[in-house]
């Protein structure tokens, strides 16, 4: 990434996170309303991504952080909360684990310790079969709907591999 873009991606990520933090801050700790779970899940996921990168001595670039936030929000958290709200309570744990897995794999292809958005896409592709969010059945590799069957409990800690 050209350094001239770094500030832009940092700014966009801060805006994205700011709205998530506002949602989280207005909530009582004892009861989280259904509408707030996607934002909390994405924020927990971003925190996990940063921690995972730091523990591995990697720089999680701003473009990577924004991509992670957008993918988690728009392709997992929001659809699950809207269509299968009974599964939403599991989102923070699922996204945290999945994003940690993706960042771990992205680090393997990182150039000079820099985890870029491109590295995140490579990491996502390389870890697809290990993602717990696959159990949510929002999408699958074949692009066709699946019968979720009894083994598709999103709270299940087992691998989210397509079966």
3-state secondary structure string, the chain?
CCHHHHHHHHHHHHHHHHHHHHHHHCCCCCCCCHHHHHHHHHHHHHHHHHHHHHHCCCEECHHHHHHHHHHHHHHHHHHHHHHCHHHHHHHHHHHHHHHHHHHHHHHHHCECCEECHHHHHHHHHHHHHHCHHHHHCCCCCCCCCCCCCHHHCCCCCCCCCCC
**What's the confidence (pLDDT) of residue 116?**
95
Question: What CATH class is the domain 3-152?
Answer: mainly alpha
Whole-number Å distance between alpha carbons of 83 and 93:
19
Domain extents in the chain: 3-152
pLDDT of residue 122: 96
pTM of the model: 0.73
pLDDT given for residue 160 in this prediction: 45
Q: What is the DSSP letter of 143?
A: S
Mean pLDDT of 103-109: 93
Res. 130: pLDDT tops 70: yes
pLDDT at 7 over 80: yes
Q: Where are the beta strands (DSSP E) in the chain?
A: 59-60, 114-115
Assess contact for 103 and 60: CB atoms under 8 A. Answer: yes
User: ∠ CA(14), CA(15), CA(20), 5° rounding?
Assistant: 90
Token pair 């929000």 is found at 73
Residue 161 pLDDT > 70, yes or no? no
User: Residue 158: its pLDDT value, please?
Assistant: 44
Instruction: Look up residue 150 and give its two tokens.
Output: 């009894």
């Amino acid at each position: 990434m050209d350094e001239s873009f770094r500030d832009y991606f940092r700014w966009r990520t801060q805006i994205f996170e700011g709205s998530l933090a506002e949602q989280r801050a207005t909530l009582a700790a004892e009861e989280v309303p259904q509408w707030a779970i996607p934002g909390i899940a994405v924020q927990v996921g971003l925190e996990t991504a940063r921690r995972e990168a730091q523990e591995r001595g990697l720089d999680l670039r701003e473009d990577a952080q924004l991509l992670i936030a957008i993918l988690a929000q728009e392709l997992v958290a929001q659809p699950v909360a809207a269509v299968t709200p009974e599964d939403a309570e599991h989102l923070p744990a699922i996204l945290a684990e999945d994003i940690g897995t993706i960042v771990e794999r992205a680090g393997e292809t990182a150039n000079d310790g820099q985890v870029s958005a491109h590295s995140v896409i490579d990491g996502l592709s390389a870890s697809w079969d290990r993602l717990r969010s696959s159990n949510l059945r929002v999408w699958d590799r074949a692009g066709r709907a699946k019968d979720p069957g009894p083994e598709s409990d999103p709270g299940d800690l087992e691998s989210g591999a397509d079966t």
